[in-house]
Amino acid sequence: MKIVFLEERAGQPYPERAFSAEVVKVGRDPLACHIVFDQAEWPMVSRRHAEFRQRDGRCLLADTGSRFGTFIDGRRVTDPTEIRVGDRVQFGPGGPLMRLTAIEQTASAKAPQSDGSFRDRTTLRDEPVTSETPRDPTSQE
């Protein structure tokens, strides 16, 4: 799955960012998450806040036990919920707001084995859509 987001701050859009993975994790933990938010700026975001998951050709958003909740267009997510292009996702009340701008399902996520079975093949990379420089997950921003 390739998923593209546009972060919005004070009504102003930031550059789009794309991620290719079967599961895209969101939170403050730079070692475990693809989309990382700074604790000082976004204290309502949990270390491992939520996940976007590809399942049966759909993209689902699941809260992973965050303290302040995850919202789609203002509605709190209690179970994995399908998300569509144009939906706004917020991580905690007053937290960061992201708009989903594209979802691409990839058939290459399953690679055939020599015995005819399939094995999951996931790439974990942040692909800037613009000339934005990806953040170093080990830096202390």
pLDDT tens for the 141 residues of the chain, in order = 889 999 888 777 788 989 988 999 999 999 999 999 999 999 999 999 999 998 888 899 999 999 999 999 999 999 999 999 999 999 999 999 999 999 887 664 444 444 443 333 333 334 444 333 344 444 444
Task: Please report the domains of the chain, with CATH numbers, ordered by start residue.
Answer: 2-128 (2.60.200.20)
Q: 112 to each of 7, 106, 118, 120, 138, how far by Cα in Å?
A: 36, 14, 5, 9, 35
Task: Give this prediction's pTM.
Answer: 0.72
